Amino acid sequence: MSDFIPIEPPPGGMPYAVPFLGFNIERVPTLAVDLFQLAEWSQNLEDVRSLLELITDEVMIPSVHENFLAGGRPPWEPLSEYTLAQKQGNSILIETGNLLDVATAQSTWVIDAAEGEGSVIVQDLPGAEYGFYHMTGTTYMPQRAFLDFQDEDLDKIDMVMGHWVDVQTLTSGFFE
């Protein structure tokens, strides 16, 4: 609501008005919490499986894919002359695309979640088991950790988590 309060004009001057902004409180709102809705909301937040699935699909798998395409982040050690002579191309860890396909397949990522806690791991690379040698390196082969995550991934995970909490809150009926 905006009202204008006239003010006495200065000596010899024209009258003018100063805007007055204000509001009236006619009643104080109360927050009534339905305990059932609160319990449902809390239970939704404890079921973190869907959160871990989102993080895996939207952040982790794309980050691993980018590691392959970029040749490592930070860059992997270049291929030796011997290896380059044997390969069809010069891309590191991508000759047939098998390791890339397996490492970025949703079925490769194992999600374990219960009671508000959970984990996501890659415990097997079916059909591309040799990938673990690349992850750790050997006496004759440098480490090329393709399952590494970047600092920027943490910001993306925060965004996914915020969105997930919003969805859980809205679908629980807590604020109806």
Tokens linked to 99: 């390791």
CA separation for the pair 18, 4 (Å, rounded): 6
CA separation for the pair 143, 135 (Å, rounded): 6
* Residue 108 domain-assigned (yes or no): yes
Q: What is the mean pLDDT of the chain?
A: 80
Q: How much is the pTM?
A: 0.73
* Residue 6 domain-assigned (yes or no): no
Query: 172 near 40, Cβ under 8 Å?
Result: yes
The answer to whether the Cα torsion of 154, 118, 162, 61 is positive or negative is positive
By percentage, how much of the chain surpasses pLDDT 70? 73
Sequence-separated (6 or more) residues with CB below 8 Å from residue 99: 68, 93, 125, 128, 130, 131, 134, 146
* Residue 139 domain-assigned (yes or no): yes
Q: How many domains does the chain have?
A: 1
* Residue 25 domain-assigned (yes or no): no
131-155 pLDDT, tens digit each: 999 999 999 899 999 999 899 999 9
* Residue 121 domain-assigned (yes or no): yes
Nearest to 124 by CA among 139, 109, 144: 109
* Residue 59 domain-assigned (yes or no): yes
- The pair phi, psi for residue 109, each rounded to 5°, is -90, 120
76-122 pLDDT, tens digit each: 999 889 888 888 777 899 888 999 999 999 999 999 888 778 889 99
* Residue 15 domain-assigned (yes or no): no
Look up the domain containing 124 and give its range: 35-171
* Residue 16 domain-assigned (yes or no): no
Higher pLDDT, 17 or 92: 92
